[in-house]
Structure 1
């Protein structure tokens, strides 16, 4: 019978067992152990129950296999029955059996696992590792790390590779870099740095802790024999920390090393393609997905739809979405976000309505994407409709959804509705405060933006770099020069925020708008060495030269050269330079600038104004006679504009007479 089991001939072994006239515990152990060892778990447990009725005495390895089978089948009720049988039969003192029971309990009931752990008189490294792993799996990272500290203090217990993997995962989840470095030191002292699993865990830990991708890459390079997990861990670390160029370089290295890609690799490559906007990479990944038959993998397909849409190939994304055999809430949310990103709010809203008809319940991300689409449309009626959906779903008071509502109403110009939505957020965070500050700034209420920062400090929150940027932008558009400069100086002193390139660009814009072009140029010259003035900063200088053109022609030409060098395919620089020359009467230079844009194939996008008429937004594009509203609405608006011009002329004449 034992021979047949070892030859994987279950039927012959069972036939042999059935033909035996007398069976002892050895016979029963062979038949039970054989079934469980060969993966016939349910049948093996049935044999075990039958053997118990016959009064056989199992050996240690059979009991361990029985408990492991209950764990794999998630038959925890039967596992507890086995636990009771072990206590009654006198097998409780065997540490291998106790460890198997502990491993079963940490998967289902940490409270029972803790009681069992406390009752154990003898504990080995497997015991401690199982318990620590259970805490980490249950997202009780602090308890797991605390237990690890106790384990290290136990004389005679030395953590192994499995322990280190669990502890490093706990450090990664809690973003505890200090503890992670301590564990890394212990790994080296124990000689476990050659363990591939430990090395992969170290890469993951450093990538997630304070964006330390440099240390992660050092660990990656020191691994002698890397596997797919090593490459994917490093790639995921770069993507997580938005190091997309480094991630792209790593992908090319994978190709050179002929590393076989899997679904994790493909998802990461799609993330890179999405953020750098590489449509050809999306198509290449699509080909790999088809060749390796990943079409049924929902994560890969959703990532592909998302990447296509974010690379402005929304028609391809829509075709792929329609061809999906099964769509989950992530698929629907991704498609809504894709249309919103491409400036197609009506299509995004239509997808949401189709989703409701398909009886798919939206979650928080879906509602946020819907609110984003409504903010793109800038129509109050649609925005209020989306707000109502969020309220009916009980999501409006959530901080993420509430912040999206604040942003949506601010884009529609309804700042009062933004403030009401902001006040209704139950637990405001720095993002929601920053959104409200940005809303005031966007709608020209610079003083209110500054006041909100003071209110924010009263609630015990300090502005971050995003908040300060919103305040500076508000001051720039509101013409509060002194207040803006004062706030810029207080960033470092009061809030400990080191100015970034965007902050300097904002100050340059503020000074340029006020005609203080010399001061703006001094600021550009005094910027830190690691910063180089961006196209937006030079654009602000050029725009200032256009408005205050007297005596600033040379500076304007210098700014134009810088913009055309930094962004040669952006139409804004050409248009600003042309307008500046036109304002100065240099029509030949203005024509040359437009001709240069045409020769370089730069697509000029006309500016537009958005006017709300009867809760509908009408877009009036520069260079056209009418907008996207009806002809009647366009004529009505023209009449009102002409009346306003007439009133202005009358007022000017009266002022002259006075």
Structure 2
């Protein structure tokens, strides 16, 4: 079903000194059996006067639990390399538990290449360490390598679980591979126990069908899941909102959002962003402004640059450039710098060109000049040429920087 070629790692070599594995004959010293009794004091031989006493600095033997805990707390490449060296020296690196923790560590540090090397060195692999590597491929958006690795998991006899399927469904969503996604769906129904209780798994299903354009199928999955899922319902609802939004059904986004509120499910920042975007694209300005206001007053959230961007885009499309300019400046005061959302200024710049607003356009030129946003120079040239904005000092400074 899937290609069995070895995955090509997209990541450039990182500065992780990978320790050499022990020879095959080396194995970790097993911890003492809890059933063995300590020797009787009477039976113990007195120490020989000539025998050297134990060194007070001698390190106790490492065990897998201590290593796993150290690996989990590691946050830097140098520290990861040191722990990996200790694990290899003690022999525990070949353990699926310690080795799997190292795979997860390298994935967290962004080195999928080293994670793959560590995975290949584990003699007896399990689904948990395979899932950690699969997550690394997915997070690095290495879709071909991800699919190839799923095929290799099957060859290794590693059975997919809910986490595996969530990753597979995300891959299918990104590649619009609906046939493979349907196979994963069928496998889920047959093999995964208590799948109906997993909101994230069903959310991945809804997202996959939505990204593949099958909104009706996504809605069927959503309806069946919402009857069963009792936790983290907002994740499931947000996936459905996204499915509508991606397919241009903006009125359905707003209706589903209102239905969500009726059911007493409080939205999060992502759900509100989806609905704000739907308001912007469908021209529902008043509803969008009301929703933005409710973020702070109703839900106690701090709007991010993306939320401001949706509102500015919505106001620009409605020709309300003055209000859009005020919102953009509010974002700067709230976030500092350029507000953290350069796309906001692009929307405003395009609107100035479209509606011929020279005054705001000139102010925007000065603002961009102060930030040295060189990437927008060509856009500024088009604006000036099309709307008669004079080449002032600000733009001259931009050209000088270029």
Fold shared, TM-score > 0.5 on shorter chain: yes
Q: Give the superposition deviation at 1:118.
A: 2.3
Counterpart in the other structure of 1:244: 285
Say which one has the larger Rg. Answer: 1
Counterpart in the other structure of 1:218: 258
Q: Give the superposition deviation at 1:80.
A: 2.1
The answer to whether the 8 Å contact 1:236/1:268 transfers is yes
Q: 1:50 to 1:304 in 2, by over 3 A?
A: farther
Q: Give the superposition deviation at 1:275.
A: 1.2
**Aligned positions, number:** 330
Counterpart in the other structure of 1:127: 164
- The CA distance in 1 between the partners of 2:380 and 2:211, in whole Å, is 30
Counterpart in the other structure of 2:223: 185
The answer to whether the 8 Å contact 1:204/1:237 transfers is no
Q: 1:76 to 1:121 in 2, by over 3 A?
A: closer
Counterpart in the other structure of 2:148: 112
Q: Do residues 266 (structure 1) and 303 (structure 2) align?
A: no
Deviation readout 1:613-656 (Å, 9 max, x if unpaired):
xxxxxxxxxxxxxxxxxxxxxxxxxxxxxxxxxxxxxxxxxxxx
Q: Do residues 170 (structure 1) and 208 (structure 2) align?
A: yes
Q: 1:326 to 1:247 in 2, by over 3 A?
A: same
Q: 1:32 to 1:229 in 2, by over 3 A?
A: same
The answer to whether the 8 Å contact 1:248/1:272 transfers is no
Q: 1:111 to 1:127 in 2, by over 3 A?
A: closer
The match for 1:96 among 103, 120, 128 is 128
Q: 1:164 to 1:339 in 2, by over 3 A?
A: farther
Counterpart in the other structure of 1:233: 274
- The CA distance in 1 between the partners of 2:98 and 2:76, in whole Å, is 14
Q: Give the superposition deviation at 1:182.
A: 1.6
- The CA distance in 1 between the partners of 2:146 and 2:75, in whole Å, is 27
Q: 1:242 to 1:49 in 2, by over 3 A?
A: farther
The answer to whether the 8 Å contact 1:41/1:69 transfers is no
1 or 2 for the larger relative contact order (CA 8 Å, sep ≥6)? 2
The DSSP-based 3-state class of the residue aligned with 2:229 is coil
The match for 1:83 among 98, 112, 119 is 119
Q: 1:165 to 1:129 in 2, by over 3 A?
A: same
More helix by share: 1
Q: 1:199 to 1:20 in 2, by over 3 A?
A: farther
Counterpart in the other structure of 1:200: 238
Let me know the Cα RMSD of the aligned residues: 3.4
Counterpart in the other structure of 1:344: 388
Counterpart in the other structure of 2:331: 288
Q: Give the superposition deviation at 1:122.
A: 2.2
- The CA distance in 2 between the partners of 1:84 and 1:259, in whole Å, is 45
Q: Give the superposition deviation at 1:337.
A: 5.2
The answer to whether the 8 Å contact 2:296/2:303 transfers is no
Q: Do residues 318 (structure 1) and 365 (structure 2) align?
A: yes
TM-score (norm 1): 0.45
Q: Give the superposition deviation at 1:358.
A: 6.7
The answer to whether the 8 Å contact 2:276/2:310 transfers is yes
The answer to whether the 8 Å contact 1:309/1:317 transfers is no
Counterpart in the other structure of 2:178: 142
The DSSP-based 3-state class of the residue aligned with 1:154 is helix
Q: Give the superposition deviation at 1:283.
A: 1.8
Q: Give the superposition deviation at 1:320.
A: 1.5
Give the gaps of 5 or more residues in structure 1.
1-17, 360-658
The DSSP-based 3-state class of the residue aligned with 1:180 is helix
